[in-house]
Amino acid sequence: MRDWNSLVKQRLGKLKLPEAQREEVAAELAAHLEDLEDAGEEYGIRESGTTPANLYEETDWSGLTRRIQKAKKEDFPMNTRSKSFWLPALVTFFAVQVCWAILVRTSFYAGISSTPFRPMFLLLGTLPVFGALGAYLSRCGGGSPLSRIAVGLFPAVAMFCLMTVLFFLGLMVDRQTIAARWAHIWLAIVIAVTTSSAALLLGTLPFLKRGEVTTSES
C-alpha cells in the first residue's frame, strides 16, 4: 500500500492552517484513499471506474486546498443586523462627514465662505447619492426595504442626535443666550434634519424594490 499520508501532505503544502489541523486534514484525506484502495474491485473500480491512484492524480489539489482552507477558516463574526444595518449606516455617515468637510474646505479656499449656507446647499444636493449608497450597501448585506430606508436616513438621524446633544451642552455653557433663542435653534434643526431626510430618502427609493433579500446567516 502506498504511503498516502505523505503523498497527501505534499499536495496540501499550501494549506494555511495550524499544524495540528493540517495533519488531521491530511490524515483524513489519506484515509479516504486508503479505503478506496481497500475497497478495490468491490467499489472503486467496478462502480465508479476510480482507483486511488487515478483519484490522487486527477484531483485538483490546489482547488481542494483552497476550498478546505475556506471551509475551515472561521468567519468574521458579523451577524445579519451588522451587515444590513450598522456597517452600511456607519459607512454612509462617515462618507457624508467627509463630503461635508471637503465642501466646507473648498468653499473656504474658493473665497465663497461669505455665503455660509452655500456648502450646506451643496451638501443637500449630494445627499441623495449618500442615501442611495446606504440603501445599496444595506441591500448587499441582505437588508429588508425597511432597513434600507433606515440606513439611508441614518446620517440625518445621527445629525439630529448630535445637534440635540450640542443644544443641551450649549444650555449648560451659556444658558441665557441659548434659552433666549431656543425656538430659532430648534426651527433650524428641524429644517436641516427634515430637508436632509427628504434628500437622503430620495436616494434610497431606487433600491427599495429591486434585488432580493439574501440572508446568509447560518
Partner 1 sequence: MTKDARSRISRGSAEIAILALLDRQPLYGFEIAKRIDVESGGVLKFTLASLYPMLYELEKRAWIKGRWEKNRAGRDRRYYSLTPKGKKQLEPLRREWRLFFLGLDRLVGVKDA
Q: Does 24 bind partner 1 (CB under 8 A)?
A: yes
**Residue 51 cell numbers, joined:** 482507483
Q: Does 64 bind partner 1 (CB under 8 A)?
A: yes
Q: φ and ψ at 50, to 5 degrees?
A: -105, 130
CA 184-103-140 angle, 5° bins: 100
Q: Does 60 bind partner 1 (CB under 8 A)?
A: yes
Q: Does 34 bind partner 1 (CB under 8 A)?
A: yes
The residue range among 55-63, 121-129, 173-181, 198-206 that interacts with partner 1, by the rule CB under 8 A, is 55-63
Q: Does 67 bind partner 1 (CB under 8 A)?
A: yes
Q: Does 63 bind partner 1 (CB under 8 A)?
A: yes
Q: Does 176 bind partner 1 (CB under 8 A)?
A: no
The residue range among 21-29, 95-103, 136-144, 164-172 that interacts with partner 1, by the rule CB under 8 A, is 21-29
What minimum distance in Å lies between the beta carbon of 74 and partner 1?
7
Evaluate whether 147 touches 89 at the Cβ level (below 8 Å).
no
Decide: residue 63, CB within 10 A, 0-12 exposed, 13-18 middle, 19+ buried: exposed
Is 35 or 174 the residue whose CB approaches partner 1 more closely? 35
Of 3, 10, 43, 53, the residue at the interface with partner 1 (CB under 8 A) is 43
**Rounded-to-integer distance, Cα 103 and Cα 125, Å:** 11
Residue 62, CA distances (Å) to 11, 16, 41, 66, 159 in order = 8, 12, 29, 6, 50
| Among 160, 134, 158, residue whose Cα is nearest residue 148 | 134
Of 9, 15, 22, 33, the residue at the interface with partner 1 (CB under 8 A) is 33
Of 1, 18, 20, 70, the residue at the interface with partner 1 (CB under 8 A) is 70
> For residue 26, what is the enclosing H or E element?
helix 19-39
* Number of residues binding to partner 1, judged by CB under 8 A: 30
Q: Does 68 bind partner 1 (CB under 8 A)?
A: yes
The residue range among 68-76, 131-139, 149-157, 191-199 that interacts with partner 1, by the rule CB under 8 A, is 68-76
Residue 145, CA distances (Å) to 62, 185, 208 in order = 41, 33, 5
Decide: residue 136, CB within 10 A, 0-12 exposed, 13-18 middle, 19+ buried: buried
Is 5 or 144 the residue whose CB approaches partner 1 more closely? 5
Kindly list the residues in this chain that would bind partner 1 in the complex (CB under 8 A): 24-25, 27-29, 31-36, 38-39, 43, 47-48, 50, 55, 59-60, 63-64, 67-68, 70-72, 74-75, 218
